[in-house]
Amino acid sequence: MKAPSSAPFQPARTAGAVFILKKAVISALVALLLFSLMIGVRTEAGPEGRLIYWTRFDELAAIVALVFGGSIIIELLRQWIGPLGAERIVPRWLQGLMEFAGRWLGPALLACAILVPFIFYDQRYILDLGILVLTYVMLGWGLNVVVGLAGLLDLGYVAFYAVGAYSYALLAQSGIPYPTFIAVPPFVSIDFLHLGTWSFWVLLPVSGILAAFWGVLLGFPVLRLRGDYLAIVTLAFGEIIRLVLINWQSFTGGPNGISAIPRPSFFGIPLTPADDGFAARFGLEFSPSHRIVFLFYVILALALLTNWVTIRLRRLPIGRAWEALREDEVACRALGINITTTKLTAFATGAMFGGFAGAFFATRQGFISPESFTFHESALVLAIVVLGGMGSQLGVALAALTMIGGFELFRGLDQYRMLVFGFAMVLLMIWRPRGLIGHRAPTVFLEKNQAISSDLVKEGHG
Amino acid sequence: MSGQIEQILAVDRLTMRFGGIVAVNALSFAAERGKVTALIGPNGAGKTTVFNCITGFYKPTSGTMRLTHDNGTVIALERLNDFRISKQAKVARTFQNIRLFPGMTALENLMVAQHNALMRASGLTFLGLIGAPSWRQAEQRAIDLSTVWLRRVGLIERADDAAGNLPYGDQRRLEIARAMCTEPALLCLDEPAAGLNARESGALGELLLSIRDDLGTSILLIEHDMSVVMEISDHVVVMDYGVKIAEGTPQHVRDDPKVIAAYLGADEEEAIAVMESGT
């Protein structure tokens, strides 16, 4: 070691003990203030409804001492190790390993997903969890078009999920309405076409189209809005849809929801123990697992369709225009790109996938109510997109697996579950502030296909 | 065209008001087809406002801007708004502060510029989604055109690098290449030499002249670097306080006492630059 290179470390080490002590005392005081009521005094309702309380000053003292000592240790560590950068928190070898894994992660995940029903055939819980994760993967991929590619912050994505679910539920129960011409006034009457066992397969695209229609409808008023304002209006849109579903009792069933929604069929063959059912036709013994496995593959196929279409769209002019819109809207206008239709198609495409997922959700549950379509869902899907790395398909899938699977994994931890989760998110945001997979893959290349650092990629502002 | 001087752009009594401020006051000038027309003037003279009116970012308070294509079609630019200027009138522009898509590669930037042609070729996305052969050919042609331009501006080596990673001078040239990929009839450049060193602005001048001579693209230019203006312009329009104070050949304008006064009044150094440069 040469002398000049070690010189810059010298001043950092000499930060006085006075400074460390001062900082520790301040931390301890803050802790005392905070915890004196939270821990120091314990209140409870007594036997006759009277308030009884007792003090726990020893615990309070322990906590304050812990904060005091912890503060000193952290300060000392900071001086010995230096500033805590990403490299220090996640060791280099681990990063190298993850880069290697990154290349094979996608195909490996897909293979695992295909094999899940074989391995866990009898474990209904795992299969249900898998279906749930895949639903969120699909929703994440759908929202990724709007938020990740086009850079439009949409907080009301659940609205399209709801439109898809209700479209399927209502149309499957009533049949598709169509006009018939009659001899007596008013000359046109509405008849209903019942689809029987094919209802899911016919209504799936219908639900997607209806959701896309609502996506365009939402898109129009928010075209001029950007950033926070756009987020607020989309949030409101999500709430409006939910409130309409609750209050339009005669149409949607209000808070009671819709029950007995037709189950999907195996391309026309019902998955029931009946004589013309799936098991009887194929000479199998009836098992309720058939339907679960079938649903698993349906949502897997739907999710993969979403993924395929999105990857394809990215390489088409429309997808490039979405990304260009995220990067610089003014430059897009100067290049003759119609901002209005570009934004609307992004909304419509994202909404369509949301609608597919909604129709699937309705047919899987057999029962839907407005409670399933709260803001919490929108926030969860958005969190998946942001954590995954905006615009990254693999990142979104990983984030959905971690968020939804992780929730289940830590179920045993009880009330500490959220704590673990929060801690993991803080670590992730220090390590990868732009999401799990933050870099962007170019859509076209001449010589070498190299990823673009996330520092250069814009998040979009409108 | 057969010796006859033809105007590609005729601006007539263009006025732009922002509240009480008149940024451009009854400005009239013309840009000739296949020539480089420079718009110069001290800071705050209203040059960029004129540009924003021509390229559809502002709607002028009054006045007309007529663009004539070489097939005789006349387009009233003041009636078109934002993206249609580029799409229908074939006017492309660059920005004073570079506006590339920093997170996209140089090649992707040029591909985005061919959006409208590619949208048609991809059958509004549907043909592209199923991977129709006609779409694949169109895409290859677009990549080829991009390659031609990358080569022309000397960025072929950096085709797959993010635009935001390129040095400043390269970004300037890439922005010009991107504008040219829209295959414009009129190219509007807002201070293309700003921030370039002497060697880079020399190369820029050559690039612009080659665009004019090889492709016959008309160029409208705002520039402060008088050496560039004097070297490449065929016609110079001088503005001050929103009005035209002089126009003519670079030599004519350089000797015009009103121009010297305008620059002297605004900034002594610039006036000296006007008088001394370009010789």
Q: In chain B, which among 17-76 make CB contacts under 8 A with chain A? A: 55-57
CA atoms in the 13 A half-sphere facing the CB of A8: 2
Q: What is the pLDDT of residue A462?
A: 54
**Nearest by CB to A444, which of B107, B156, B178?**
B107
- Say if the Cβ atoms of A316 and B125 lie within 8 Å: yes
φ and ψ at residue B21, rounded to 5 degrees: -90, 130
The per-residue pLDDT of chain A, averaged, comes to 84
The verdict on a CB contact (< 8 Å) between B86 and A332 is: no
| A338 near B CB under 8 A | yes
Nearest CA in chain A to B102: A456
Closest by alpha carbon to A113, among A271, A299, A289, A288?
A299
List beta partners, residue B24.
Answer: B16
Rounded Cα distance between A177 and A194, Å, is 9
B164 vs A contacts (CB less than 8 Å): 456
Dihedral angle, C-alpha B214, B220, B224, B230, nearest 10 °: 50
CATH number at B254 reads 3.40.50.300
Residue A43, pLDDT > 50, answer yes
Give the pLDDT score at B273: 63
Q: Look at residue A241 in the predicted model and tell me its pLDDT.
A: 93
Please report the ipTM that was assigned to this predicted complex. 0.86
What is residue A316's three-state secondary structure? coil
The answer on pLDDT for B275 being more than 70 is no
The distance of B98 to chain A (nearest Cα, Å) reads 9
Q: Which of A441, A440, A436 is nearest to A455 (CA)?
A: A440
Q: Do B83 and A453 touch (CB under 8 A)?
A: no
What's the number of domains chain B is made of? 2
Smallest CA–CA separation between B118 and chain A, in Å? 6
Nearest CA in chain B to A441: B104
The answer, yes or no, to whether residue B279 has pLDDT greater than 50, is no
The reply to whether B87 touches chain A by the CB within 8 Å rule is yes
Whether residue B95 is contained in a domain is answered as no
Q: Which residue of B has its CA nearest to A336?
A: B83
Least-confidence region, from A166-170, A443-447, B219-223: A443-447
Strand pairing report for B91-93 and B74-76: unpaired
Whole-model pTM: value is 0.81
Question: B190 and B178 in one domain?
Answer: no
The verdict on B147 and B200 lying in the same domain is no
To the nearest whole percent, how much of chain B has pLDDT over 90?
29
| Whether B161 and B200 share a structural domain | no
Lookup: tokens for B178: 């991107």
- Answer yes or no: is pLDDT of A209 > 50: yes
Rounded to a whole number of angstroms, the distance from the CA of A233 to the nearest CA of chain B is 25
pLDDT score at A373: 92
Which residues have C-beta within 8 Å of that of residue B9, sequence separation ≥ 6?
B30, B31, B54, B65, B66, B67, B68, B186, B218, B220
Q: What residues contact residue A36 under an 8 Å CB cut-off, 6+ apart?
A: A60
Among the candidates B130, B159, B183, a domain finishes at: B183
Chain A residue numbers touching B122 (CB-CB < 8 A): 316-318
Indicate the pLDDT class of residue A39, thresholds 50, 70 and 90: confident
Mean of pLDDT values over A219-243: 88
Instruction: List, in sequence order, every residue forming a beta bridge with B68; answer none if it has no partner.
Output: B74
Q: Among A156-160, B4-8, B209-213, whose mean pLDDT is lowest? A: B4-8
> For helices A158-174 and A339-365, what crossing angle results, to 10°?
50
CB atoms within 10 A of CB A451: 14
A114-118, A274-278, A402-406, B178-182: range with lowest mean pLDDT: A274-278
**The last residue of a domain, from among B183, B218, B247:** B183
The Cα A159–Cα A153 span in angstroms is 14
Q: Which of A305, A316, A343 to mutate to test binding with chain B, by most B CBs within 10 Å of its CB?
A: A316
Least confident of A158-172, B98-112, B136-150, B260-274: B260-274
> Is residue B203 located within the same domain as residue B278?
yes
Q: Average the pLDDT over B195-218 and give the result.
A: 89
pLDDT (0 to 100) of residue A15 = 60
Distance from CA of A332 to the nearest CA of B (A): 8
Q: For A111-133, how does the pLDDT look when each residue is reduced to its tens digit (9 = 90+)?
A: 888 888 888 888 888 899 999 99
Confidence of residue B223 (pLDDT cuts 50, 70, 90): confident
Q: Name the residue in chain A with its Cα closest to that of B98.
A: A331
Check pLDDT > 60 for residue B268.
Answer: no
Q: Is position B112 within any domain? A: yes
| A312, A324, A333 member nearest B104 (Cβ) | A324
Confidence of residue B2 (pLDDT cuts 50, 70, 90): very low
Q: Is residue B248 part of a domain?
A: yes
Tokens 């201070």, residue located:
B191
For residue B163, give the chain A residue with the closest CA.
A456
Asked if the model's pLDDT at residue A85 lies above 60, the reply is no
Chain A residue with the nearest C-alpha to that of B159: A446
Residue-wise pLDDT tens digits, B22-34: 899 889 999 988 8
Give the strands of the sheet with B235-240, arranged side by side. B91-93, B186-190, B218-222, B36-40, B235-240, B243-248
**A with B: how many residue pairs have Cβ under 8 Å apart?**
137
Tally: H helices and E strands in chain A: 20, 6
Domain-wise residue ranges, chain A: 20-82, 98-382
- Mean of pLDDT over chain B: 86
Cβ within 8 Å of A, B 103-142: 103-105, 107-108, 111-116, 118-119, 122, 125, 128-129
Q: Are A229 and A151 in contact (CB under 8 A)?
A: no
Tell me: pLDDT of A1 over 70: no
Q: State which residue of chain A sits closest to B183, comparing Cα positions.
A: A335
Å from B250 to nearest chain A CA? Answer: 29
Residues B64 and B196 in one domain: yes
Mean pLDDT of A36-62: 84
The Cα–Cα gap between A417 and B189 comes to 58
Q: Do A452 and B162 touch (CB under 8 A)?
A: yes
B-chain residues near A434 (CB < 8 A): none
Q: How far apart are alpha carbons B120 and B122 in whole angstroms?
A: 5
Other Cβ atoms within 10 Å of A10 Cβ, number: 8
- Tens of pLDDT, residue by residue over B132-164, are 888 889 999 999 999 999 999 989 988 888 999
pLDDT the model gives residue B227: 83
Q: Any residues with CB less than 8 A from the CB of A150 and at least 6 apart, and which?
A: A322, A323, A325, A326, A342, A343, A346, A460
A300 and A134 Cβ atoms separated by less than 8 Å: yes
Look at residue A11 in the predicted model and tell me its pLDDT: 46
Q: A459 — contact with chain B (CB < 8 Å)?
A: no
Residue B82 lies in a domain: yes
| Residues B76 and B190 both lie in one domain | yes
Range of the domain at B205: 1-90+186-279
Residue from A305, A314, A327 to probe the interface with B (highest B Cβ count within 10 Å): A327
Instruction: Classify residue B9: in a domain, yes or no.
Output: yes
Domain termination residue (choose one: B183, B208, B236): B183
Q: Are residues B190 and B276 in the same domain?
A: yes
Residue B83 lies in a domain: yes
Per-residue model confidence (pLDDT) at position A433: 76
In this prediction, residue B218 carries a pLDDT of 92
Cβ contacts of A389 on chain B, cutoff 8 Å:
none
Q: What average pLDDT does this structure show over A289-295?
A: 88
Same-domain check for residues B12 and B116: no
CA A446 to chain centre: 34
| Burial class, B123, CB count within 10 angstroms (exposed 0-12 / middle 13-18 / buried 19+) | middle
**B194/chain A closest Cα distance in angstroms:** 18
**CA end-to-end distance (rounded Å), chain B:** 30
Angle of CA points B269, B274, B276, to nearest 5°: 90
Position A224 pLDDT exceeds 60? yes
Rounded to an integer, the average pLDDT of A195-201 is: 79
Distant-in-sequence contacts of B21-24, Cβ < 8 A, 24+ apart? B22/B242, B23/B49, B23/B242, B24/B49, B24/B50, B24/B53, B24/B60, B24/B242
Gyration radius of chain B over CA positions: 19
Which of helix, strand or coil describes residue A172? helix
Query: For position A3, what pLDDT does the model report?
Result: 42
Helix extents (H) in A177-275: 199-222, 227-247, 249-252
Angle at A42 between CA A39 and CA A47, to 5 degrees: 160
CA distances from A33 to A38, A54, A55, A332, B99 (A): 9, 18, 15, 54, 51
Q: Which residue of B lies nearest to A438 if distances are taken between CA atoms?
A: B103
Provide, rounded to the nearest whole percent, the portion of chain A with pLDDT above 70: 92
Q: Scan residues 216-245 of B and list those with Cβ closer than 8 Å to A.
A: none
Question: How far does the CA of residue B208 sit from the closest CA of chain A (Å)?
Answer: 19
Q: What is the pLDDT of residue A348?
A: 94
> Which residues on chain A are in Cβ contact (under 8 Å) with B165?
453, 456
Contact of B201 with chain A, judged by CB distance below 8 Å, is answered with no
> Are both B117 and B253 inside the same structural domain?
no
d(CA A431, nearest CA chain B) in Å: 21
